[in-house]
Structure 1
């Protein structure tokens, strides 16, 4: 009952809520068309009986009524189709906005890593067009029911027991419902295989994959895999369709037999003079129309059944967002104006799969004004730690404290307004050059002075001169930038905020040329010192380049999700542990001598660590 109420509420929202006038007009015209096309056989009856009985007035009235109802029905049908198309378009736009709002109303991005959430989201993305047709299917079903009511009434005027034939249509209806169940189960079973087939199609048809596919001669192998997968899906679908078709055919055979028996009964009554020829013709037409109506009921209810499954995913997302919203509303912690003591992680554990956490009992204290470098092999958990500090993930266990305030008690938007991040997998917005940078501080999206200042901090002012329109050059429709240039825009975006509490750069120079990298860090170092001095800003760097890492006040070594070493560059080299091993490998690869292992120890000290492992 609760599900039915929610489904009705969604239908009302997509219809009357989104476009009330369109919904009313489409429903009215559809019902008028259904009545007209269902009543015109009555005009045929009058015309036939008048002709047989030599009643000219009945002939004229029957002909006029038949023509008027038939024309009205077709006109209403065409008008209704246009109105419903407009309603469906508006419902689709509303649904897309609603789904986007539900996704973005959930704090953080952890939900994007959860299989159940992704399953419901992908189903909605696949069927958003189908779901936007909810009002159309409901109006169609209403029209079919109106036609059936008229058919039942007119059949009853011929011979009351004939009215019961209409209910024989329930047989194929219920058979169709039973036949649809295996189809839905098969769809769920094949969803992963279909997704893989779609991915293979994307890879083999997208220009960006072309160079590697041809260089490694992988195209033929991927095509063979795609064919095998498509064949497997087609066979399973064909078997399911055949079983479903046979079951449906059986239902329609029973239905057709009952209707043929009804027509035979009317023919017998006509031969005996108990039924007129006009009533016989009307019965034949009504029986034929009833057959079509029941076929439409089966098709419409099948669509509504699929929509109902999709609606459950929409309701699941609504409930998930509501639960997340309640938790966010409970967050009442307040952040200070600037960092004084620093950021601390206490026994923080996080993972997408509870059985395999990405971070294990991480303890770390970062004093205000400190620059921290995080190093480790790929998969050690560096980016996960960055996203955890950014409030994009919530710790499964433990706490993250900002000047003693538990980050879990702070509303996510309040924390996000106080940080700046350049992610390793940075976004490439199809906006102007200036807006790609200005997104980093939305109130100043079009502030050219602030944008140029941010670009200058990452030595990116040259980007403006490479395009005719400068900051106003639109980066879409074939306008290309190199990977390094896109990364400079991402770094400039992270520099837009003047006084962040936390500035994080995840592999900030991975795509940059050495000369650009050197200029970037010369400019950045000065900015970082100013932010640390004036606002206590903590800077977190994730990098594989030890020329960058060695300048940090504190180096944190991650290995398999655990902090194994912390300290300054010289201190970690003197300890001759995992960091020293990584550094020696890096020096050997790049042909650089190992520097002296002397240097002052940093003021920062990790909580729970004594400078060793």
Structure 2
């Protein structure tokens, strides 16, 4: 069937398969430069977390790793001395064996506590760095770009691997030291025996191939796992319980969950089956070759070409070589996973550096004198082919209160996000007193704005912190917090809390108090009032959970705050609301439709115009009547 005759579903399925294949090919292995960077980041992260402890642990790992080969060599010396080949080696061999026991004993006593402490510090450092790097990205594009979101999800899910990576780093240090010691012992018997560890690498290769299949399977099922997590969240979240039961969604949720689990099992089981076959074949071949080497050395001993001590050495080294290969084979999975996790971590750091907007260094103005202008602004969300805003030309005068109205999907919230510089326009520019917003320092600009949103965050902190974080520089200022609570009309909410502002909010805590939607919203509004002298106050349907009367009272307070901001900073207040009784109080009303500015003017001007605003206003007025 030609592409032109394929159904949309078939075309979408083909595109998804192609994208999955491209992703698998791209991530099949880390390119050498990326792998080197990942190893360097791995080592540097551990060293910066606890430099002295890391050095001590590395020294202990080396000593413990060479203890067994050293004692094996001591046994060889002892046997050669006892058999009369060289009686002078008895004392030296005994001393080496006893020192080995002492090192092993001290290592067992000291290593555990030090390693636990070091691993805890490394894990803490990793989690802090991940949080810092993620939050430091000034834009929120990475949350909504599907390709970036997929990688971030993997980083978050597998962050624990970075935290426990120090133990694997010590394992690698020990393996390196043990390998050198074992090679030295085998080479002392005969150079050809140096091939045994090389052949043992075949087990490592087979295990690596096995793990690559498993890793590819993990990557392939990652979207399914995310969907499984979402389905579980839907089923266990109390907020969803009503609709799940009213609409009888149990069979839908259970069937989809079962189907996704079956798909995950089939993909992973296939990968494990193929890997086990290869790994078993290579291990059998390695065992046969090693057995042949022991027979060969025995034959040389009978002819007097090597000593009895050499035979004993090879027999004792055989388990060590097998353990060395087995250790690498058994841990190649975790080494690969940790290496790839640090590769993703390195990618995140690079992504954060590329998207840090470090070129935006112009300080935000202390006050607005002209206002904010949009010139030809267009915007398309990441991963979307359709633009949300088209050629927006708009002027928001300094000191004005501006209302954005329009139907859902008209572009109002997108406009608000662009003003907060959560994104940059796809086309056109936004200018603040003539300066492109892209040139302003994003942190400095955001420190001069405040916001209240319909989809506000229910921070599960104390009530004081929930309000105070609206201005972190003053969150411990009791007067500032009290004033914000008063302006947000949240005094009644705080009065009902058992411990007032010190009450822990949120049901996830044993002593936490949950609030209604309206109570949470009043605290969110109070949080928006923490900053008093802002250049921009963004209010995106901040009273959606309140009744019209309460909204009217609060908007009067918004207006008062706007007048204060206008007088002191020339600040602009942006209000998004569907209630025209509130909107009409604004100095300027902007009507949005299909991502464009349809009408601009005061309430009276727009009603007299008889356009879209007048139609919506009359429609709502009739509904209230």
For 1:422 and 1:225, locate their aligned partners in 2 and report how far apart those are by CA, in whole Å.
37
Q: Deviations over 1:82-103 (max 9, x none)?
A: 4333322222222222222222
Q: Deviations over 1:490-509 (max 9, x none)?
A: 11111122221211111111
Please state whether the residue corresponding to 1:552 is helix, strand or coil: coil
Aligned to 2:489: 459
Aligned to 1:113: 144
Task: Determine if contact 2:294/2:315 at 8 Å carries over to the other structure.
Answer: yes
Q: Deviations over 1:4-31 (max 9, x none)?
A: 5533431332232221111111111111
The correspondence for 1:495, drawn from 529, 535, 538, is 529
For 1:217 and 1:80, locate their aligned partners in 2 and report how far apart those are by CA, in whole Å.
57
Q: Deviations over 1:290-318 (max 9, x none)?
A: 11111112233432322232223222222
For 2:204 and 2:234, locate their aligned partners in 1 and report how far apart those are by CA, in whole Å.
42
Q: Deviations over 1:99-148 (max 9, x none)?
A: 22222332232332223332332222122221234443232122123223
Please state whether the residue corresponding to 1:541 is helix, strand or coil: strand
Q: How does 1:243-392 map to 2 (within 5 A)?
A: 243-270=274-301, 278-325=309-356, 327-328=357-358, 330-352=359-381, 353=383, 355-392=385-422
Aligned to 1:172: 203
Superposition RMSD in Å = 2.8
Q: Deviations over 1:330-387 (max 9, x none)?
A: 3343544322222111111111246312111111112222221112222222211111
Aligned pair in 2 of structure 1 residues 211, 81: CA closer, same or farther (>3 Å)?
farther
Q: Deviations over 1:222-250 (max 9, x none)?
A: 12211211111011101011111111222
Task: Determine if contact 1:433/1:470 at 8 Å carries over to the other structure.
Answer: yes
Please state whether the residue corresponding to 1:108 is helix, strand or coil: coil
For 2:394 and 2:376, locate their aligned partners in 1 and report how far apart those are by CA, in whole Å.
9
Aligned to 2:25: none
For 1:128 and 1:92, locate their aligned partners in 2 and report how far apart those are by CA, in whole Å.
9
Q: CA deviation at 1:427?
A: 1.9
Please state whether the residue corresponding to 2:355 is helix, strand or coil: helix
For 1:281 and 1:334, locate their aligned partners in 2 and report how far apart those are by CA, in whole Å.
76
Q: CA deviation at 1:41?
A: 2.8
Please state whether the residue corresponding to 2:407 is helix, strand or coil: coil
Task: Determine if contact 1:180/1:244 at 8 Å carries over to the other structure.
Answer: yes
Q: Is 1:242 the counterpart of 2:273 in the alignment?
A: yes
Aligned to 1:210: 241
Aligned pair in 2 of structure 1 residues 56, 334: CA closer, same or farther (>3 Å)?
closer
The correspondence for 1:446, drawn from 467, 476, 480, is 476
Aligned to 1:505: 539
Aligned pair in 2 of structure 1 residues 156, 221: CA closer, same or farther (>3 Å)?
same
Q: CA deviation at 1:401?
A: 1.5
Please state whether the residue corresponding to 1:388 is helix, strand or coil: helix
Aligned to 2:182: 151
For 2:459 and 2:265, locate their aligned partners in 1 and report how far apart those are by CA, in whole Å.
38
The correspondence for 2:440, drawn from 410, 418, 435, is 410
Aligned to 1:137: 168
Greater shift after overlay, 164-173 or 201-210? Answer: 201-210
Residue segments in structure 2 that go unaligned for 5+ positions in a row: 1-31
For 1:505 and 1:96, locate their aligned partners in 2 and report how far apart those are by CA, in whole Å.
33
Aligned to 1:611: none
Task: Determine if contact 1:270/1:277 at 8 Å carries over to the other structure.
Answer: yes
Question: What is the TM-score with the length of structure 1 in the denominator?
Answer: 0.88
Q: Is 1:219 the counterpart of 2:250 in the alignment?
A: yes
Aligned to 1:597: none
For 1:81 and 1:242, locate their aligned partners in 2 and report how far apart those are by CA, in whole Å.
36
Greater shift after overlay, 130-139 or 419-428? Answer: 130-139
Q: Deviations over 1:424-471 (max 9, x none)?
A: 221222332222222122221121212222222222222221123322
Greater shift after overlay, 56-65 or 489-498? Answer: 56-65
For 1:52 and 1:485, locate their aligned partners in 2 and report how far apart those are by CA, in whole Å.
89
Q: CA deviation at 1:256?
A: 1.3
For 1:207 and 1:276, locate their aligned partners in 2 and report how far apart those are by CA, in whole Å.
76
The correspondence for 2:576, drawn from 542, 561, 573, is 542
Greater shift after overlay, 479-488 or 126-135? Answer: 126-135
Question: What is the TM-score with the length of structure 2 in the denominator?
Answer: 0.87
Residue segments in structure 1 that go unaligned for 5+ positions in a row: 594-613
Greater shift after overlay, 459-468 or 574-583? Answer: 574-583
Task: Determine if contact 1:33/1:77 at 8 Å carries over to the other structure.
Answer: no
Please state whether the residue corresponding to 2:574 is helix, strand or coil: strand
Aligned to 2:617: 583
Q: How does 1:565-580 map to 2 (within 5 A)?
A: 565-580=599-614
Aligned pair in 2 of structure 1 residues 79, 224: CA closer, same or farther (>3 Å)?
farther
Aligned to 1:609: none
Task: Determine if contact 1:346/1:398 at 8 Å carries over to the other structure.
Answer: yes
Q: CA deviation at 1:262?
A: 0.8
Q: CA deviation at 1:53?
A: 6.8
Q: CA deviation at 1:46?
A: 5.2
Greater shift after overlay, 113-122 or 384-393? Answer: 113-122
Greater shift after overlay, 479-488 or 72-81? Answer: 72-81
For 1:435 and 1:545, locate their aligned partners in 2 and report how far apart those are by CA, in whole Å.
31
Q: Deviations over 1:46-100 (max 9, x none)?
A: 5666677799998887677546524633542564344333322222222222222
Please state whether the residue corresponding to 1:343 is helix, strand or coil: strand
Please state whether the residue corresponding to 1:377 is helix, strand or coil: coil
For 1:332 and 1:268, locate their aligned partners in 2 and report how far apart those are by CA, in whole Å.
78
Task: Determine if contact 1:92/1:128 at 8 Å carries over to the other structure.
Answer: no
Q: Is 1:161 the counterpart of 2:189 in the alignment?
A: no
Task: Determine if contact 2:404/2:412 at 8 Å carries over to the other structure.
Answer: yes
Please state whether the residue corresponding to 1:446 is helix, strand or coil: coil
Aligned to 1:480: 514
Q: CA deviation at 1:571?
A: 3.4
Please state whether the residue corresponding to 1:200 is helix, strand or coil: helix
For 1:23 and 1:515, locate their aligned partners in 2 and report how far apart those are by CA, in whole Å.
63
